[in-house]
Amino acid sequence: MNCRGAFFTLCFCLPASATYAGAWPLPVGETQAILKFEDSQANDAFDPSGARVAIPHLRDDSLSLFVECGLTDRLTFQGKAELTQGEDQFDRYSGRGPIELGLRYAVLNGPRGVVSVYVGATAAGVGRNAGYAPPDAGQGDIEVRLLAGRNITLWRQPFFAEAQLARLFRRGLPDETHLDATLGWKPNPRWLVLAQTYAGRADASPVSPEWVKLEGSVVRHLGPWSLQAGWRQTSWGRESPVERGPVIGVWRRF
């Protein structure tokens, strides 16, 4: 599949995270697609002091399609669309989730590591456009992200480490700062083990919502296909739900 085909698949097959790429650019003309299901539920939340308190049951399910395509040796297109449904004490929703489109440019790209910059835009969807906000809050945002990754060897085993720092300029919601990190281990060519952290803070007052989510998963490569299974859970926060649930993904390289 070429880049134009990937773009039209993303935008029209759905209504209006093989190998891990992340900060690394994809080779010219190569496409990676990831279909992912996430079931997120919460029965408690972190209050303004960071203490856990009980809340009415909250559920947010999503089925997303992430596509990235190498345009040049340094430039990669990426986009994401999703379907979502969920409910809480007051609302029930179902429909198109956020749609994201953007470009990632590798400023530095060497045999051991890479530094990239991503700029993209998101159109808000139904449901929760931010985990701490009520359904349908928010209209969209512009994201600027700095990504850095490095291949390393530990105990004679191949690993990679990556960090991403992002700033989201949002309409209808507070602006946010995100810090994400990934440690990947490749025990052999068929398996990939991922340990990931997603942290963020919203510029709200008098209390700024904050969150730290941990995710662990394994990926099994089957030729051009890969299968991913994992678990994500909020480990700390303020003014944010304690979300937890499975992550199931199917990856395909073209």
pLDDT per position as a tens digit, 93-118: 999 999 999 999 999 999 889 999 99
pLDDT the model gives residue 17? 34
What does each C-alpha distance from 69 to 26, 168, 246 come to in angstroms? 6, 23, 27
pLDDT the model gives residue 129? 82
pLDDT the model gives residue 20? 67
In which band, very low, low, confident or very high, does the pLDDT at 15 lie, cut at 50, 70 and 90?
Answer: very low
pLDDT the model gives residue 18? 41
Q: What is the CA radius of gyration of the chain?
A: 18
Ordered by start, the domain boundaries in the chain are 3-253
* pTM score of the predicted model: 0.90
pLDDT the model gives residue 133? 82
In which band, very low, low, confident or very high, does the pLDDT at 16 lie, cut at 50, 70 and 90?
Answer: very low
Per-residue pLDDT tens digits for 80-89: 999 999 998 8
Helix (H, G, I), strand (E, B) or coil at 242: coil
| % of the chain surpassing 90 pLDDT | 81
To which H or E segment does residue 3 belong? helix 3-12
C-beta of residue 201 within 8 angstroms of C-beta of residue 177: yes
Strands (E), the chain: 31-46, 52-70, 75-87, 92-109, 113-123, 140-154, 157-171, 176-188, 191-202, 210-222, 225-238, 240-241, 244-253
CATH topology for the 3-253 domain: Porin (2.40.160)
Per-residue pLDDT tens digits for 181-223: 999 999 999 999 999 999 999 999 899 999 999 999 999 999 9
Per-residue pLDDT tens digits for 147-178: 999 999 999 999 999 999 999 999 999 999 99
Chain-wide mean pLDDT for the chain?
A: 91
C-beta of residue 165 within 8 angstroms of C-beta of residue 136: no
What mean pLDDT do residues 135-144 have?
Answer: 90
| % of the chain surpassing 70 pLDDT | 92
C-beta of residue 159 within 8 angstroms of C-beta of residue 185: yes
